[in-house]
Amino acid sequence: MNFDWRQILSYFQRLSARERSLLGGAIAVAVILAFYTLVWEPLSENRTRAERLIRIRQQELADIKEMRLEYMNLLNRLEVSQAIINPDSFPEGFSLFPHIEATVSKVLGGRDKIRSMNPKTKQINEAYREEAVEFKLDGIALDQLVDMMVSIEKGKEPLRVTRLKVTKRRRDPRQFDVTATVSMLKPNEQS
């Protein structure tokens, strides 16, 4: 059975003008409904779904970046912790008190601003002990304080400033009094 457009055209021509306009309107409405149902609505739904997936993936990416940053921080802390408790991190015969005294004296250009230096030892557990030096400094400049902290924490030895108190002097606001504690972990000697 062949489809013949001439029969449809002849049927359309036999209709009255009013019937032709009604049929044309019905065909236009059917085409619009078909376009909306078959083309527009699926495209709109796909766009909405794609936007939702993009938002989800962007949030996942942000979460991954945050987790990566946290992982890198934890990894860095682990490496620092391993260096701190590794006995090979310190040169043979390393002693904290003379090292801190020499570092502070070098940065400050002498011992005249050192009020006191006190060594301390605290047992952490059966395997490790913490050796610390608490020192008090009078009237140092901010750049000297920064240089001293960098020299201590960024030196070859894995030392940490575990306590720092900085007080501005009333007579000279560019000068500071500092109380700091520098510590290190050392393994206990095995008997």
Which residues fall within 8 angstroms of residue 147, CB to CB, at 6 or more apart?
107
Q: What is the pLDDT of residues 45-96, one digit of tens each?
A: 999 999 999 999 999 999 999 999 999 888 877 776 666 566 566 667 778 8
Q: What is the mean pLDDT of the chain?
A: 85
Residues of the chain with CATH 3.30.70.60: 93-187
Q: Please give the average per-residue pLDDT across 113-132, as a whole number.
A: 85
177: left (phi over 0), alpha (psi -120 to 50) or beta: beta
CATH class of 93-187: alpha beta
Instruction: List the beta strands (DSSP E) in the chain.
Output: 114-123, 128-141, 160-168, 175-187
Q: 64-102 burial, b for 16+ CB within 10 Å, e for fewer?
A: eeeeeeeeeeeeeeeeeeeebbeeebbeeeeebbebbbe
Q: Is the dihedral of CA 79, 83, 86, 88 positive or negative?
A: positive
Residue bearing the bigger pLDDT, 1 or 110? 110
Q: What is the CA radius of gyration of the chain?
A: 40
Residue 117 phi, psi (nearest 5): -140, 125
Q: What is the pLDDT of residue 57?
A: 94
Query: Whole-model pTM above 0.75?
Result: no
Q: What is the pLDDT of residues 92-121, one digit of tens each?
A: 777 888 888 988 889 888 888 889 999 998
Q: What is the pLDDT of residues 139-149, one digit of tens each?
A: 898 899 899 88
Q: CA 189, CA 95: separation in Å to the nearest integer?
A: 15
Q: What is the pLDDT of residue 191?
A: 43
